[in-house]
Amino acid sequence: MIYRNEKKKSPRITALCVILAVCVAIFGGSVANLHIYSSNYVSTSNSVSVRNLVINASRGQIVDRNGKALAYNTDGYSVIFDRAYLETSRVNNVIIELSKLLMQNGEEWIDLLPISQNEPYEFITETDKGESNKDMVDSLIKVLGLNHYATAQNCVDEMIQRYKLDEYTSYQKRLIMGVRFSMEYLDYSTAVPFTFSESVGEKTMTKIKENTTLFKGVDIEVTSQRSYNVGNTAANIVGTSGPVYAEEWEKLKDKGYSYDDITGKSGIELAAEQYLHGTNGVRKIKQDVYGNVISNEITTAAVNGDTVMLTIDKDLQDFAYKSLEKRIKYLQANRAPEANAGSVVVIHNASNAVLAAVKYPSYDMETYVENYESLLVAEGNPLFNRAFMGTYEPGSTFKPATALSGLQSGAISTTEYIDCQKKYKYYDDFQPSCLSRHGPLDVKNAITYSCNYFFFEVGRRTGILTLNKFCQTFGLGVKTGVEIEESAGVLAGPDYREKLNAVWNPGDTIQAAIGQSDNLFTPLQMAVYASSIVNNGTRYKAHLIDSVYSYDLSQTVMETKPETVATSGIEQKYYNTVKQGMHSVATDGTVSSVFRNFKIEIGGKTGTAQVLVNGEMKNNALFISYAPFENPEISVIVIIEKGGYGSHVAQVAKEIYNYYFSYHGETYVAPNANVLM
């Protein structure tokens, strides 16, 4: 078992400087008080000792696009064993006394021993995260010099002799050997101190400082503790950090990491590790035989980690989360009782910078560690990053892609009318229906009224291979390139069916053309798709990192520039036609009651996708959009699982547009703000 404290606590440049100054003033030591410990000891012929101390670099901050701190450092205390002053004969008793003190204060210590706490002893073959622990078991057997077939009991017997534990109780034996093995595994020596506990409180720190005789050789060192200012709205983006896990140590120790370093575990904390993790320094101290310091100099200065500025706007992120949460609760009470989860993504069309990416339900970073087990089984899977990993049938939001593909390939013209007869009878064995008998429609009006019959015919004429060729340029079924983990989704077609050892039939093509069949896309992919339409077929790489600065903000380390990853080759006139159709969705179509009198003109498309839930078909509700219509600055995508119809979720997008553009200087107050579809 590993006893560790992993508690997570929770600009442009001028704003950044202010934030940094405030953090230094408040936390008074996160920057200046570096964690120092012994790393080398050399005896010289004239009895002068030289010790090289490692100066730990502070981890860099993560801030939003306006410089608001999202992840930063606060001071903490670690308990360190210094072998130069801790005699081996005293180690066992020191471990017992320290463990008593920590237990009294509800604190934890390092125990990497992969053996159960109680008899009969067994190997722990799986970590708390459900991963294989075999490497640690093998390391234990190797450290003890036993045969590969040694049992857990064999290892315990060897450690009792090795660590001289005969006089102790069974509980004390297991406690001591857990720490003593950890010390050996982590190369404890005069050159390498051992961190007994990574984080203790002021009460424990004071007790150890007051009992210097009992705890001789035990040091308290000021360390940086990672804190977060994201609440429950941006946990999926910022991610988590923590101490180096035992299974990571072998890979990281050769990269200059100390075992008590903090590393990224998920999200931006992991993706930007190369910037956030600083470079440790070295302080050389010379002492005479009496322990007096002769000289003390920094031979290598520590370089703190860089400040990573995200594209995310924290205020917008928080607002989007609250709007989504409010809408889900309204639907639960009034229109869709089973609606319980969803996502919102907002991107900047000129660069595909992600301005907000929320998912509901979520979790609070302040209580993440202590609530982890319950979060694993909580309704709605709050740990799942729906914005980047959740995949959904796009439903009718896919129809603009079908229209563009059909127009460019010549399968349909902008002036041709297709007569919707409700039931599509082209195939004898498969005759799906439209929701209404619309009669003759051109492309623009087919988008406005979301006519399935029209797009069945366009999809059949275009063919699945041509349809998919264009859809991939829009970013559908391919990764967006965002820095953190994402799903590639699924673009329906023969290639995907072949992977399933299944057959693609002609009827599948017309289903795919209206966003059904095997199509599955992430909210971020659909935001990129909307942006590609806005940009007339130019697709940019999505990104969350805006820029990176040195810790003191004096230097720019990296800036992200818009990166074109695909162009569709579709003619401008066809985009104009499709955009007019998406505009009329808001003025005359499926969300006209929400947007008709809204002062910000938008383009959009609703979608309703059936999913099987507990043996019953339910509807996911989707809405893709962009605004302002004439010069679209942002795209907003809203998805609510089991939310009913696409028109049900458009209110969230409306609120976000109203907030975003008022935040940028002009306040829009829309009439009928509570009109719901």
Report percent pLDDT > 90 for the chain: 73
Question: Does residue 162 sit within a domain?
Answer: no
292 lies in the same domain as 365:
no
**Range(s) of the domain holding residue 599:** 314-663
- The amino acid present at 110, given as its one-letter code, is I
544 lies in the same domain as 624:
yes
Nearest CA to 487 among 501, 475, 500, 503?
475
What are residue 168's phi and psi, to 5 degrees?
-95, 160
pLDDT recorded at residue 368: 86
Question: Does residue 70 sit within a domain?
Answer: yes
In this structure, of 270-279, 341-350, 370-379, 394-403, the range with the lowest mean pLDDT score is 370-379
- The amino acid present at 324, given as its one-letter code, is L
Non-local CB neighbours of 151 within 8 Å, separated by 6+ positions: none
- Examine the pLDDT at 39 and tell me if it is beyond 80: no
Name the average pLDDT for the chain.
89
Pairwise CA distance, residues 553 & 14, whole Å:
10
Mean per-residue pLDDT for 168-176? 97
Nearest CA to 450 among 586, 590, 575, 583?
590
303 lies in the same domain as 432:
no
Cα distances (angstroms) measured from residue 572 to each of 408, 438, 602: 10, 28, 19
Tokens linked to 297: 């100099």
Question: Does residue 489 sit within a domain?
Answer: yes
422 lies in the same domain as 495:
yes
Count of the separate structural domains present in the chain: 2
- Examine the pLDDT at 246 and tell me if it is beyond 90: no
The distance of Cα 243 from the centroid of its chain, to the nearest Å, equals 18
- Complete DSSP assignment for 279-322: B-EEEEEEE-TT--EEEEEEEE--BPPPEEEES--HHHHHHHHH
- Examine the pLDDT at 3 and tell me if it is beyond 70: no
In DSSP terms, 607 is beta-bridged to 622
- Examine the pLDDT at 249 and tell me if it is beyond 90: no
Mean per-residue pLDDT for 578-587? 98
- Examine the pLDDT at 19 and tell me if it is beyond 80: no
pLDDT recorded at residue 280: 84
Helix, strand, coil percent content, the chain, rounded in steps of 5: 35, 25, 40
258 lies in the same domain as 381:
no
Domain boundary among 251, 286, 310: 310
What are residue 431's phi and psi, to 5 degrees?
-130, 80
Question: Does residue 5 sit within a domain?
Answer: no
Question: Does residue 415 sit within a domain?
Answer: yes
Question: Does residue 668 sit within a domain?
Answer: no
- Examine the pLDDT at 230 and tell me if it is beyond 90: yes
- Examine the pLDDT at 542 and tell me if it is beyond 50: yes
Mean per-residue pLDDT for 15-39? 41
Pairwise CA distance, residues 410 & 197, whole Å:
69
Mean per-residue pLDDT for 494-501? 96
Nearest CA to 648 among 673, 623, 617?
623
In this structure, of 111-120, 169-178, 202-211, 283-292, the range with the lowest mean pLDDT score is 283-292
User: 584 falls in which pLDDT band (50, 70, 90)?
Assistant: very high
User: 239 falls in which pLDDT band (50, 70, 90)?
Assistant: very high
Question: Does residue 88 sit within a domain?
Answer: yes
The tens digit of pLDDT for each residue in 419-442 reads 999 999 999 999 999 999 999 999
**CATH number of the domain to which 215 belongs:** 3.90.1310.10
The tens digit of pLDDT for each residue in 179-197 reads 999 999 998 987 788 999 9
- Examine the pLDDT at 34 and tell me if it is beyond 90: no
479 lies in the same domain as 628:
yes
Mean per-residue pLDDT for 23-46? 41
**CATH number of the domain to which 328 belongs:** 3.40.710.10
658 lies in the same domain as 574:
yes
- The amino acid present at 361, given as its one-letter code, is P
The tens digit of pLDDT for each residue in 59-98 reads 999 999 999 999 998 888 999 998 888 999 999 999 999 9
206 lies in the same domain as 295:
yes
pLDDT recorded at residue 18: 42
Tokens linked to 91: 């180690």
What are residue 288's phi and psi, to 5 degrees?
-85, -175
632 lies in the same domain as 586:
yes
pLDDT recorded at residue 33: 38
Highest mean pLDDT among 5-19, 214-228, 544-558: 544-558
Non-local CB neighbours of 44 within 8 Å, separated by 6+ positions: 50
pLDDT recorded at residue 2: 39
- Reply yes or no: is the peptide bond before residue 562 cis, omega within 30 of 0: no
Domain boundary among 257, 285, 310: 310
Pairwise CA distance, residues 196 & 87, whole Å:
16
- Hunting for tokens 């995310």 — which residue is that? 312
Domain boundary among 310, 344, 379: 310
324 lies in the same domain as 336:
yes
In DSSP terms, 419 is beta-bridged to 440
370 lies in the same domain as 389:
yes
- Examine the pLDDT at 524 and tell me if it is beyond 90: yes
DSSP conformation class of 348: E
In this structure, of 146-160, 288-302, 487-501, 652-666, the range with the lowest mean pLDDT score is 288-302
pTM over 0.85: no
Does residue 515 contact residue 609 with C-beta atoms inside 8 Å? yes
User: 413 falls in which pLDDT band (50, 70, 90)?
Assistant: very high
User: 499 falls in which pLDDT band (50, 70, 90)?
Assistant: very high
Tokens linked to 556: 């720019």
298 lies in the same domain as 338:
no
Report percent pLDDT > 70 for the chain: 90
pLDDT recorded at residue 23: 45
Does residue 635 contact residue 353 with C-beta atoms inside 8 Å? no
Question: Does residue 62 sit within a domain?
Answer: yes
Looking only at the bridges linking them, the beta strands covering 307-310 and 545-549 are antiparallel
